[in-house]
Chains A and B, each alone.
Chain A
């Protein structure tokens, strides 16, 4: 079993829909990261959080440390949001060593 599990693996939605991607982890962490990888391949860090909630534009990330679970929400989704979203954790032991989930491939149709 992977230390970081994401669901769903693939998600297709219509423009404007509210999107939720989930991440569960099994190790103690110092922080959790959400990354975005566009079809061109580049990887961008969206959020790093260790508690509560963060918001950036239409993106919201939440984390529940007790339940070892995080969600990434996209409001008013747009085709340009189509990408692979990757959850990664910084373990308490060796926080610089990110442990990655397998990613969620999101497709937003116009």
Chain B
């Protein structure tokens, strides 16, 4: 299995631009998580989906952030408009749907907003 796939791996954009991050979970996994990692705050959960349905988006910092999961094999995290404080590494992870399940992380997308 290829593992969780994220694209792009690196993104540099100017403030005000729209940014779209993409994630393909492991086949057969039906839970998907979006995380953000910064030096100041460490790893934080932004939103997670079960069976393509958003379950908890309380970690989404503000309305500029949105996430979708149109089908079991694809999810996007969009930032519009982007700001310099959005600069971080964004990880996608997937797992089987269970109360307790290991999460498998993608390689991350390093976002720099100038």
**B70 within 8 Å of A by Cβ?**
no
Interface size on A, residues (CB 8 A): 23
With A43-B91, A96-B31 already in contact, the answer to whether A102 and B99 are too (CB < 8 A) is no
Give residues of chain A (89-109) contacting chain B, Cβ–Cβ below 8 Å: 90, 94-98, 100-103
A-B CB contacts (within 8 Å), total count = 53
A50–B108 Cα gap in the complex (Å)? 28
- Write the chain B residue with the least CB distance to A4: B42
Q: Which residues of B are found within 8 Å of A44, using beta-carbon distances?
A: 105
**A30 within 8 Å of B by Cβ?**
yes
With A45-B103, A90-B100, A95-B100 already in contact, the answer to whether A100 and B44 are too (CB < 8 A) is yes
Interface size on B, residues (CB 8 A): 24
A2–B29 Cα gap in the complex (Å)? 30
Give residues of chain B (74-106) contacting chain A, Cβ–Cβ below 8 Å: 89, 91, 93, 95, 99-105
Give me the interface of A with B, judged by CB distance under 8 Å.
Answer: 30-31, 33, 35, 41-45, 48, 50, 86, 88, 90, 94-98, 100-103
Give me the interface of B with A, judged by CB distance under 8 Å.
Answer: 31, 33, 42-45, 48, 50, 55-56, 89, 91, 93, 95, 99-105, 107-108, 110
